[in-house]
Amino acid sequence: MHAIVIGSGFGGLGAAIRLAAKGYDVTVLERRDKPGGRGYVFEQDGFKFDAGPTIITAPFLFDELFELTGRNIRDYVNMFPVDPFYNIRFDDGTVFAYRGDPDRMREEVRRFSPEDVEGYEAFLEHSRRIFEKGFVELAHIPFQDVWSMVKIAPDLVKLESYRSVLGLVKKYIKSEKLRQVFSFHPLLVGGDPQHAPAIYALICYLERQWGVHFAKGGMGAVVQGLVKYLGELGGTLRLNSTVQKILVENGRAVGVQLEGGEVLRSDLVVANSDVSWTYQNLIDPQHRKHNTNRKMKSMRYSMGLFLIYFGTRKTYPELAHHTILLGPRYEGLLDDVFSHKTLSKDFSLYLHAPTRSDPSLAPPDHEAFYVLSPVPNLQGNINWETEKTRYRDAIYDHLEKTCLPGLRQNLVTEKLFTPQDFETQLLSFAGAAF
């Protein structure tokens, strides 16, 4: 039995490994020159930059893949916990250290708002109940029809999943700053805290349960570990192989056609490519049950991201591995990004400093970074060719004033990535980043 997997991101490699462990002859097709998908690695001027994911919050899911065949992930990848999970810096300069330790978190909440300690504990308990139902019980259940969802609807109503994440946090917490601290998590997966259903509040307890982890060598080292493991199971990875069409016969996928005309036959096809791109471009219209193009274009998509990968000849030992820099507005900025789709003058940032945990990702006595700003996807009318330099300069100005003094004079290398690049390089519909 032969299986083809389109895309070598974490999902594609995970699916390929599971299929190989079941005895399938697996071929993974990747259109880029390296594996990883959104977990791609840029190497530039002696620096290594993880292009996408930077944290692991459920490491046991990786353990499972290796345990399928009696292997141990530690023979392939060295993962370790990060503390604090994040430093959250507000616009007035105050910093909340977000950690997994219950006592230290309680005291950090007390430091910001003593009257919210009890509400924080109640919110965390609510997050635990959502986690137990939404992750532990339901994460492995396929909801293939409406009746599957109807069966669990009463449980979700009891958990108040009809609220938004921010709405649920507001129920328990009064401090505006703490409301931001405990509601930003949907942004990590591309969602608007004002509209993402409260089931996403399970992320708070998920982090408490398993922590936030990183890998020696960066997230690219996880990709390489998975690729090595797949090869040991007999799987094949083909790079620079762009799928042009999924072949369908009698209602079943039977293979793919690559750019250039090569045809690969298979017993099944797994598409880890962007969902909208797949349905609109890889499957011929006669094989679709609905007007897929219209349906896909009418769906709600995640925000876009503006990223700067950069390296400095100066180190910043006072920084945490992850820093979130919140701007002067929270809900108004979310409205601009998700609803109005306009590029605001203010912004919030996520600063990743992996060399705080692994100096090998930069030359000696240098520092590697990436900073991202949530921005509208390409459904907004923003010309990134004309805006990207101005926006980059504004971000550098802010970083120099806040946590990276002397940034420009110590800058060694940089690379910009906009929503336009998400569309052209990752075939992500509307440049949506998630």
- pLDDT tens-digit profile of 148-192? 767 777 877 788 877 899 999 999 999 999 999 999 999 998 999
| Residue 383 to residue 364: CA distance in whole angstroms | 38
Decide if 99 contacts 181 (C-beta within 8 A). Answer: no
User: What pLDDT score was predicted for residue 190?
Assistant: 92
* Backbone dihedral angles phi then psi of residue 217, each to the nearest 5 degrees: 90, 0
394 exposed, middle or buried (CB, 10 Å; 0-12, 13-18, 19+)?
A: middle
pLDDT digits (tens, 9 = 90+) for 395-432: 999 999 999 999 999 999 999 999 999 999 999 999 99
**CB within 8 Å of 252: residues ≥ 6 apart:** none
So what's the pLDDT on residue 290?
72
Give the list of residues 6+ apart from residue 137 with CB closer than 8 angstroms, or none.
none
Below-70 pLDDT ranges, the chain: 143, 149
**Torsions phi, psi for 349 (to 5 deg):** -130, 150
Q: Are 86 and 320 in contact (CB under 8 A)?
A: yes
With beta carbons less than 8 A apart as the criterion, state whether 271 and 245 touch: no
Which tokens hold the place of 61?
């899911």
Render pLDDT for 220-234 as a digit per residue (tens, 0 to 9). Answer: 999 999 999 999 999
- The secondary structure of residue 336, as a DSSP letter, is I
Instruction: For residue 269, report the phi and psi dihedrals to the nearest 5 degrees.
Output: -130, 130
Residue 161 structure tokens = 């999943």
The answer to whether residues 315 and 367 touch, using CB atoms and an 8 Å cutoff, is: yes
